[in-house]
């Protein structure tokens, strides 16, 4: 049973930083896209940042210049460094793998294809 396991969430004040990590060691093959999604209460899940196997990176406009997605292949970890956090960044953050291109569709309103795995999420609260 493949699992993606997120960690690093928490509660911070506006302007603070958090670093999320996703353990991807459970993936048995390399998926095309690795993505961070978030879902705020009462809102639909949205793609925040995505990276593909060519290391192309895309971000949703609201986090550009503040968030940075990264992959550590040696440690089988997907990361998301979040700086200058705002209350509107509050939500459950999920990491996901996907086999369907283009990866960047998820930061332009597209959805996860389901052809991959989705973690259980880690909560981020900014006050």
* Residue pair 91/39 in contact by the 8 Å Cβ criterion: yes
Tell me the pLDDT of the chain (127 aa) as tens digits.
778 999 999 999 999 999 999 999 988 777 889 999 999 999 999 999 999 999 999 999 999 999 999 999 899 999 999 999 999 999 999 999 999 999 999 999 999 999 999 999 999 999 9
- What are the C-alpha distances in Å from 111 to residues 15, 73, 88, 96, 100? 29, 25, 20, 11, 11
What 3-state DSSP class applies to 104? helix
Q: What is the DSSP string of 58-75?
A: EE-GGGTTTEEEEEETTT
């Amino acid at each position: 049973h493949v699992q993606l396991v997120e960690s690093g969430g928490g509660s911070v004040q506006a302007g603070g930083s958090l670093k999320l990590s996703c353990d991807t060691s459970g993936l048995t093959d390399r998926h095309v896209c690795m993505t961070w999604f978030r879902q705020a209460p009462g809102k639909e899940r949205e793609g925040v940042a995505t990276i593909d196997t060519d290391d192309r990176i895309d971000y949703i406009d609201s986090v550009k210049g503040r968030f940075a997605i990264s992959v550590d292949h040696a440690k089988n970890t997907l990361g998301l460094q979040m700086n200058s956090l705002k209350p509107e960044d509050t939500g459950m953050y999920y990491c996901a793998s996907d086999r369907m291109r283009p990866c960047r569709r998820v930061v332009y309103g597209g959805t996860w294809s389901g052809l991959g795995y989705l973690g259980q999420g880690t909560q981020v609260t900014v006050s």
